[in-house]
Amino acid sequence: MVIEIPELFDAAEVREFRQALETTDWSDGRITAGHRAARVKDNEQLALDHPVARQLSERVLNRLSQTPLFIAAALPARVLQPRFSRYDGHGHYGNHVDNAIFPVPGTGEHLRSDVSSTLFLSDPEEYDGGELVIEDMFGTRTAKLRAGSLIVYPGSSLHRVAPVTRGVRFASFFWTQSFVASAEKRRLMFELDGAIQSLATDHPEHASVDTLTQVYHNLLRQWSAT
């Protein structure tokens, strides 16, 4: 299931992000890649403990906690600290699958990457190339969203960032451990939640709203991975 969330941040907020990102120091993105992924990765990233990374990632996490569509799609149990990337001069990230397990910095704990997310921080007209290409059982999906918009997709998918041939592509990316580990079950929960919301809007007093809400929460109890 691939979900787009437009305008997670508005234009003014994106300008604040960009001002911080354009005036800071970047590191070779291959430092954080696994052995195989490092061979196909050519970008720059902010170190996780960089003050700018910490400040901006906190803003992303706060906004996600207030975004019903993200919560409905990801059913987040935990979200790993967002990271920030920069692509230019034919920078790219070839086909790869994200690590299944990530360490949570400073805790000794680990997080399962059920859901991947990319927050676009450059508008499409600012750069050529740089599309996020996602391949899963439902086919191939290409995304190049407006700055401030988020795309959510299965962590198990094969994906890549096409070479940037003009301009600079800024983005944030992160992983979520869901209460429901199965992508198929999360999709069913998302569809059921949407149907409940529609029915509650059109027929708020209908008895089926309560019945379907009960089914939703009982499925969540049954399928919860934690």
What is the C-alpha to C-alpha distance for residues 149 and 168, in angstroms, rounded to an integer? 17
| DSSP string of 19-52, one letter each residue | HHHHTS--EEGGGGS-TTGGGGEE-EE--TTSHH
Contact 1, 114 (CB under 8 A): no
Is 159 annotated as ligand-binding? yes
Contact 47, 129 (CB under 8 A): no
Alpha helices in 75-127 (DSSP H): none
In the beta sheet, which residues pair with residue 93? 41, 161
- The two three-digit tokens of residue 13, written as one number: 């907020």
- The two three-digit tokens of residue 20, written as one number: 């911080």
Is 96 annotated as ligand-binding? yes
Is 90 annotated as ligand-binding? no
Specify the 3-state DSSP secondary structure of 116.
strand
Contact 158, 95 (CB under 8 A): yes
Sequence ranges of the binding site for 2-oxoglutarate: 169
Sequence ranges of the binding site for Fe cation: 96, 98, 159
Sequence ranges of the binding site: 96, 98, 159, 169
